[in-house]
């Protein structure tokens, strides 16, 4: 085999050549082919989706508020039922009753005892049950 050296052998040209000033004018040619201004396109379907999502969100929030209010209502007890229960269960003390009442109910029970003496006297005189009050 013959000794072969890459540096000494004749080189073969590739056949590809770059024209003069090719890279200088390349960017100008590309910019000339591009449109000067592109029109702004706004798709309508995205706005429709936003409206649909917002309407759905409002519907969900309103329904949840209605459901929460419906489930948080306190059952109202008939006052006559409560009176009968308390009268039958005499072992219940006033402290037990106060513990069961809420603050709003306790404030409603407060009575103003600032009565005028003349009013009391008139009521007792006009009352036919005066003897009953005095004996019991």
Which residues lie closer than 8 Å to 106 by C-beta, 6 or more apart?
98
Residue-wise pLDDT for 54-67, tens only, equals 999 999 999 999 98
The model carries a pTM of 0.28
Express each pLDDT in 66-90 by its tens digit: 988 888 777 677 788 878 877 787 6
Return mean pLDDT, the chain: 80
CA 128 to chain centre: 62
* Residue 92: per-residue pLDDT: 67
The rounded distance, in Å, linking the Cα atoms of 129 and 133 is: 6
């Amino acid at each position: 085999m013959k000794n072969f050296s890459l540096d000494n052998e004749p080189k073969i040209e590739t056949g590809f050549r770059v024209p003069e000033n090719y890279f200088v004018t390349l960017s100008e040619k590309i910019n000339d082919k591009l449109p000067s201004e592109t029109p702004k396109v706004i798709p309508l379907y995205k706005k429709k989706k936003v409206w649909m999502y917002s309407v759905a969100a409002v519907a969900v929030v309103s329904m949840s508020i209605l459901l929460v209010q419906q489930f948080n209502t306190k059952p109202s007890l008939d006052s006559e039922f409560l009176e009968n229960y308390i009268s039958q269960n005499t072992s219940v003390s006033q402290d037990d009753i106060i513990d069961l009442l809420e603050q709003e109910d306790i404030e409603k029970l407060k009575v103003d005892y600032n009565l005028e003496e003349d009013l009391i006297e008139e009521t007792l005189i006009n009352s036919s049950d005066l003897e009953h009050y005095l004996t019991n």
